Amino acid sequence: MLIYLLIPIITMISPTDAPLTSSIQTKKATGTNHEWLTDALASPTLNAQVEGSDATFGTLTPRVRVGNYIQNIRKTGQISDNQEAVLKAGVKSEYAYQLEKATKEIALDTERAFIQGSKSVGNSPSAQMMGGIFHFLNTNRTDAVAPNTGAATAATATTITVAAGHGAVANQSYVYILPKDATGADQVGGGQYRLVTGVATNTLTVAAWDVVPAATVLYAVYAVPAALSETTINDAFEACYNQGGSPDTVHAPTKQKRAISGFASNIRRLTADAQALTNSIDIYESDFGRHAVKTNRWMPAGSLAVLESGQFAAAYLRPVRAEELARLGSSRRFMIESAVTLEARAENSSALLLGLA
């Protein structure tokens, strides 16, 4: 005779960490196209003037207006009165449990958008979308291996047809849709970085695009990715420094974090005993400063971001808010929604490494 016993515990090990969101500032947005201004000093010259000479005047360089679109991020749930009333294992209220789950999920959706969002103005039925760091980090893009570039000829929800095969190999190569076209305008689907999962002549299959690229977008194919080296990551630090940046944080997917941990020098691990920290933190010391190395499971494989965290912010037009909606028959409904975008004040302070094995 079998006796069944259901223990009143729900096991969930799904990750809830959002390293990028938690490491940047939070501020208020006031419009659906959140904008900011950037400027730069002229390069220094010897500037020697003849005594008594008259002043001369040139044309002032205007400040540059940069912006990102507000993205509405939403989760919903509907719980019937019977679901709420029955005896349940592990939870007292199904409504409260599902609301808590949805709150965690909206935080993860926000983190993913901050990283891989493809900037799009939206046009019903398509939603407006923010650009993430893969969209903004252009000046200091550091390639671990020289990519093959060109203009696409077609794209579907899961493919892109490139100008040539470029030697792409399934489950090894990566394709990156450049954020800007030759004129500097945003590309449809720009900033998306995907592992190539299939190759058929010139058509590359990838995981589903968030925004299907336009047929003529410029792309880069990293056919044979290279392992992360200290030289490569230091090249990124140097590129940021030369632009005036002071990068303080490295966001690395698991494989690249292991590669950094394997560097023979310049890594110092702070533990709870040393600095009263709960978790160990890797500090990489380069010629350009000290950099906290964070494992970020939401960074795409084959990539790594070097950020000056103070130059980025989560700009909320509407903060995360949960509302109970009108009842529908014998059920309760809720909606959790925020309106937010990524503010990337000085993208040239940071760097993006692509084409990593």
Nearest-angstrom CA–CA distance, 296 and 134: 14
Nearest-angstrom CA–CA distance, 239 and 72: 34
At 16 the pLDDT is 84
What DSSP state is assigned to residue 43?
Answer: P
Nearest-angstrom CA–CA distance, 264 and 269: 13
Q: Where do you find CATH 3.30.2400.10 in the chain? A: 19-37+65-132+313-344
At 216 the pLDDT is 93
CATH class belonging to 19-37+65-132+313-344: alpha beta
At 355 the pLDDT is 97
The answer, yes or no, to whether the previous bond of 125 is cis (omega within 30 of 0) is yes
**Single pTM value for the model:** 0.91
Strand order in the sheet with 331-344: 25-28, 312-325, 331-344, 71-80
- If one looks up domain 146-222 in CATH, what number appears? 2.40.30.180
Low-confidence ranges of the chain (pLDDT < 50): 275-280
Q: Which of 302, 337, 318, 299 is nearest to 133 (CA)?
A: 299
Q: Where do you find CATH 2.40.30.180 in the chain? A: 146-222
Cα 289 vs. chain centroid, distance in angstroms? 23
Residue-wise DSSP of 75-131? EEEEEEHHHHHS--SS-S-HHHHHHHHHHHHHHHHHHHHHHH---B--BTTBPPB--
At 1 the pLDDT is 63
At 266 the pLDDT is 57
**Burial class of residue 139 (count of CB atoms within 10 Å of its CB; 0-12, 13-18, 19+):** middle
Nearest-angstrom CA–CA distance, 260 and 256: 6
